[in-house]
Amino acid sequence: QAIEFLEKKSNLVVKPYMATAESIKKAIVEQYTRGLSFEVTEALKEAGTQYSTTFMPQAAIAGVMGQAPVARIVSTLLEYGIKVRASDIHIEPLENESRIRYRIDGILHEKLILPKKIHDAIVSRIKILGNMKIDEKRLPQDARFNFKVGAEELDLRLSTMPTAHGEKVVMRLLKKTGGVPDLPELGLRGKALHNLEENIKRPHGIILLCGPTGSGKTTTLYAILSKLNSAQVNILTLEDPVEYQIVGVNQVQINTQAGLTFASGLRSFLRQDPNIIMVGEVRDAETTDLAIQASLTGHLVFSTLHTNDSAGALPRLLDMRAESYLIASTVTCVVGQRVVRKICSTCRTSKIPQKEIIEKMKEVLDGLFDFEKNKNLKLYEGRGCKECNNTGYLGRIGIFEVLVVSEKIAKMIIARSRAQDIAKQAVSEGMITMRQDGFLKVLEGITTVEEVLRVAEE
C-alpha cells in the first residue's frame, strides 16, 4: 500500500530495496553533508542578480529577506546543524566572503563559504525570525526563537555582534525534545558518583559545580534536578537563560532590564516555600550571602562558579567577602568538571602508546592503575570515517572530580588555606582528580590522552 501510494503521488515507478535502520540513518547524514553545499548553491542560483552588489542597502534587504532563496538558505543551515549534532552555528563576515562554521562535540568545523553579497540578507532573515531590530547594526543583540524539523523541536538562542566586516551571528541550538541524561550517562561513576548522590540527598547545604563556559555544568545541574524532582519536592530555579524545560520544576529566567537579577530573584524565592533552589551562577557578594542564608534556613542550594577546579571554588567565595566559617558550615560538596570527545566506535583502533605517554599517565594516576601488570598496554584512537566526519571522535563525555567538605577541609576553609593545599587534602581523603578520571577513561578506550590534556590543566 505504501508503494502504491508513493507511485500514485509521484507518477513514478518505485523499486523497493531492503536496508537496515542504521544504514538509512547513515545515508541521511551523508546526504545532508553533501546536500548542504548543493542546497545553498541552488538557492543562490535562484536568487539570481538580486545580490549583485557587495553591500545591499537597507531598503533592498527588507524586501529580499523573506523571499524563498534566503529563507531556504537559513532553513538548510539549521537543518544541517541538527543532522550533525551541532551545538552552535557561526555565520561570520570576512573581508570578501561569508563563512559558516558548526561547533560539533566542542570543536568548530568550517563547512561552507558563501559570497559576501548574500551575508546581510541571511543575517536579516535570522533577525526577523528572532524579532530583532533589522536596522540596528551598531550594537549587539540577543534573542531566541523555536524551530522545528520533523519531530525535532529546537529552541535557538541568537546573538549578533558588529565586527569590522559586518554583523556576526551565533545561533545556539538547544533541543526541546528528549530527556535529560542521568548522572552515569554524563560520565560520573564510582566514588565520585556515590559522594555526589549522598550529598544531594541532604535536606540543606550548598553544592557547587565548577568549570569554564562549555564544561557541561548546566547539563549536570539538570541531571541532578531531574533525579531529585518529585511531587513531594518544590524546586525553584533561577537561570540566565532557561536552556531546558523540566516538567514539575519551577524555572525562572532572569530579566535584568525589569530588575529580576540572581540576587533579587533568590530573595523572592525564599518566600515561595522551596525545598531545593538552583541559582544559575554565583556572580557577586550579594548572591553569595543570600545562597548561604538560604542554606542556613533549611534549603538545598545548587549553583555554579567559573573556577578551574573544585578546590578553587572555596577561596573564590572568600574573595566575594563571604565569612569563612559560614562557607565551611554550608558548602557540603564541590564538583569540578570538563567535557572530552569520545572516540568514534565505528573507526576505533588500538595502538601501542609511546613511553613518554605511559610515564605521564603513571605520574598522574599515582597508583590508581597497575602499569606493571599491564606491560602490553594498548590505547585507542579513531582513524576517522564518514560516521565521525573524519575526526576520529563522536559524542562527548564528562570528566569529574567531587570534593566533599570534610571536617579537616572545613577547618582549612576557616583558616583561609590555599586552593592547592585544600586540593591535596581532598586527594589524601580519596578524591579522584579530573585528570585522573580522564586518564582512567583513556585506559578504558573511551577517549584519548590528547583530549584529556586539551581540557584539563595541571
The domain limits of the chain are 2-175, 183-455
User: DSSP states of 5-17 as a string?
Assistant: HHHHHHTS-----
Angle at CA of residue 52, ends 47 and 54, nearest 5°: 120
Cα 383 from Cα 448, distance rounded (Å): 12
Per-residue model confidence (pLDDT) at position 185:
96
Sheet holding 205-210, edge to edge: 250-253, 235-239, 276-279, 300-305, 205-210, 331-343, 393-404
Helix ranges restricted to H, 21-160 = 21-47, 58-64, 68-83, 119-129
User: DSSP states of 350-369 as a string?
Assistant: EEPPPHHHHHHHHHHHTTSS
Cα 209 from Cα 218, distance rounded (Å): 9
**What's the CATH code, domain 2-175?**
3.30.450.90
Mean pLDDT of 18-36: 66
Whether this prediction's pTM lies above 0.85 is answered by: no
Evaluate if residue 65 carries a pLDDT over 50: no
H or E stretch at 339? strand 331-343
Evaluate if residue 208 carries a pLDDT over 60: yes
Evaluate if residue 48 carries a pLDDT over 70: no
DSSP 112: E
**Residue 226: pLDDT band by 50, 70, 90 thresholds?**
very high
Give how far Cα 247 sits from Cα of 244, 262, 324, Å: 10, 22, 37
SS3 342: strand
Q: Which candidate, 159, 154, 186, 185, places its Cα nearest to that of 170?
A: 159
User: DSSP states of 375-422 as a string?
Assistant: TT--EEEE---TTTTTSSEEEEEEEEEEEE--HHHHHHHHTT--HHHH
How does pLDDT run across 127-136, given as a tens digit for each residue? Answer: 999 999 998 9
Mean pLDDT of 402-415: 97
Q: Is the peptide bond before 353 cis (omega within 30 degrees of 0)?
A: no
> Which of 86-95, 128-137, 238-247 is least confident?
238-247
> What does the chain come to in residues?
458
Per-residue model confidence (pLDDT) at position 60:
45
The listed range with the strongest mean pLDDT (13-22, 68-77, 410-419) is: 410-419
Q: Which candidate, 118, 101, 121, places its Cα nearest to that of 110?
A: 101
Give how far Cα 42 sits from Cα of 120, 199, 374, 458, Å: 18, 56, 57, 50
Mean pLDDT of 374-401: 92
Helix, strand and coil in the chain, % to nearest 5: 40, 25, 35
SS3 435: helix
**Domain 183-455 classification at class level:** alpha beta
H or E stretch at 253? strand 250-253
SS3 445: coil
Q: Which candidate, 356, 334, 351, places its Cα nearest to that of 282?
A: 334
In DSSP terms, 393 is beta-bridged to 343
**Residue 56: pLDDT band by 50, 70, 90 thresholds?**
very low
What phi-psi label fits residue 313: left (phi over 0), alpha (psi between -120 and 50 degrees) or beta? alpha
Fold equal for 2-175 and 183-455: no
- More confident site: 46 or 307: 307
Mean pLDDT of 162-190: 90
Per-residue model confidence (pLDDT) at position 309:
93
Q: Which backbone phi and psi does 291 adopt, to 5 degrees? A: -65, -40
The listed range with the strongest mean pLDDT (116-120, 125-129, 262-266, 418-422) is: 418-422
Evaluate if residue 399 carries a pLDDT over 50: yes
Q: Are 310 and 402 in contact, with CB atoms under 8 Å apart?
A: yes
Q: Which backbone phi and psi does 209 adopt, to 5 degrees? A: -115, 130
- What the block records as the C-alpha cell of 181 is 541524561
How does pLDDT run across 338-349, given as a tens digit for each residue? Answer: 999 999 999 999
Q: Which candidate, 274, 271, 281, 227, places its Cα nearest to that of 250?
A: 274
Cα 373 from Cα 15, distance rounded (Å): 58
Evaluate if residue 57 carries a pLDDT over 60: no
Strand 205-210 to strand 393-404: parallel, antiparallel, or no bridges (unpaired)? Answer: unpaired
